[in-house]
Structure 1
């Protein structure tokens, strides 16, 4: 169970394999556990590093408070990449983590090979453009744990088994309710639309057909704008899956990500 200390911040991560670095960034209220059925598959060909973001899993909080901005998470991810001396990693971010991944590539385009955005990272205009706003956010603050367990069931795809749904919902409730609520503020607060023109590295999406949180249509609209800017970008849709495809049905997700990573492997700088 390795830890990395970034000054006084204790960051937990898991690492397996050798080769091209893949940095996995989980979504809201989650941690490295959400990737437990993916890491070993990709570690046969890549150097896979999965991070617990601050306040999640075994990582400490930043200054003893939950993080509420994508920029703060982005700064931590970049410091991790520097500390581990990762050369041109591909960042794979889920949901909240997708926004973090894209913003990291914007801040450090010379150092990042590309991004895979999993059910996240669409060109929202801040809280006005996402599904988490207004009364929903206020209701979440009242009882984040119960809300989270309920919402997990609603964002999953119709072909995901009830047993898997219950497992995922239970695991997500391990997250502190203060951190869970802060994650929603972070997710809703990112206005990627204003930063889209700065994207230089490839961005590929993997999305679930049944995801209402970051819909396939949102991903396609964002990808089309990136392509119009000359950025290599495509959307890859998983039928019958929802917002957390890598955890819902790992075999289907792993096969799709294999296809996407092959595209990065074929691209030379």
Structure 2
């Protein structure tokens, strides 16, 4: 599976949408930007874009150093670097505020963008995000990140595929897609992004409460790193948020449990459509 791409300032993106679909015939359909997690690429949203492109402008991007997007010049990355890239993309390609949907590191990027550039975001959906990650979990991820930087040629897909899919045969095709993306991606881009993600504990409560637009926190019931209690805790902090826990799902919820995710997103997008920005 490979989607067609356009490139803007080194960021590759796939677009699918109805440019005229809107209740207001004088305006275009609301834009939505989908952001993948570490080691993945735009195609990880292949079950979302067809579901929403009839009524929305849907952009799925390759994050820096992933897919067909260029590496950022700085070797040590921060979440604000990724948020700045997203802001530039929105400014130059879309030209109006957007709903941002992110998965894993993409979810953290979406939240950071809503914190740092609130004028750019009309809603934020954070799938499988982390919050107050405990020391033991952080140390394990950091050790893995250092190993990746020390040896870019090592095998990279075995551990995450086992964690994300647990050998479940019904998700074999999705597991193979993710394995292909991990194995064939830019190893340096993956290692640098993973290092940045490894040192994240989450967005602080003080920052989260400044997100006034509608927000949804969605994760899998069986996700061992982006735990349900993390999403529930973040939803309690934001003034206009709720949480959705998908039963029997793990980390790749948008792929393995697309119908549940799409139903939750459809409800959320409708909420964003009707949101009064004067309340922000």
TM class by shorter chain equals 0.7 to 0.9
Match of 1:104 in 2: 113
Measured after TM superposition, the shift of residue 201 of structure 1 is 2.4
Given the superposition, is the C-alpha separation of residues 147 and 172 from structure 1 closer, same or farther in structure 2, using an over 3 Å criterion? closer
Match of 1:237 in 2: 245
Match of 1:93 in 2: 102
Cα separation, 1, equivalents of 2:111 and 2:157: 25
Cα separation, 1, equivalents of 2:208 and 2:234: 9
Measured after TM superposition, the shift of residue 211 of structure 1 is 0.7
Question: Contact (CA 8 Å) 2:107, 2:127: kept in 1 or not?
Answer: yes
Matched, 1:50 2:53: no
Task: Give me the TM-score of the superposition, normalised by structure 1.
Answer: 0.86
Match of 1:149 in 2: 158
Matched, 1:223 2:231: no
Measured after TM superposition, the shift of residue 153 of structure 1 is 2.2
**SS of equivalent to 2:119:** coil
Question: Contact (CA 8 Å) 1:67, 1:179: kept in 2 or not?
Answer: no
Q: CA RMSD in A?
A: 2.5
**SS of equivalent to 1:27:** coil
Structure 1, 18-27 or 150-159: larger mean CA deviation: 150-159
Structure 2 unmatched ranges of 5 or more: 20-28
**SS of equivalent to 1:68:** coil
Matched, 1:76 2:79: no
Match of 2:276 in 1: 268
Structure 1 unmatched ranges of 5 or more: none
Given the superposition, is the C-alpha separation of residues 170 and 111 from structure 1 closer, same or farther in structure 2, using an over 3 Å criterion? closer
Cα separation, 2, equivalents of 1:62 and 1:171: 19
Cα separation, 2, equivalents of 1:243 and 1:60: 26
Cα separation, 2, equivalents of 1:84 and 1:126: 38
Match of 2:127 in 1: 118
Task: Give me the TM-score of the superposition, normalised by structure 2.
Answer: 0.82
**SS of equivalent to 1:146:** coil
Measured after TM superposition, the shift of residue 151 of structure 1 is 1.6
Match of 2:14 in 1: 14
Matched, 1:192 2:192: no
Query: How many residues are paired up?
Result: 260
Given the superposition, is the C-alpha separation of residues 159 and 209 from structure 1 closer, same or farther in structure 2, using an over 3 Å criterion? farther
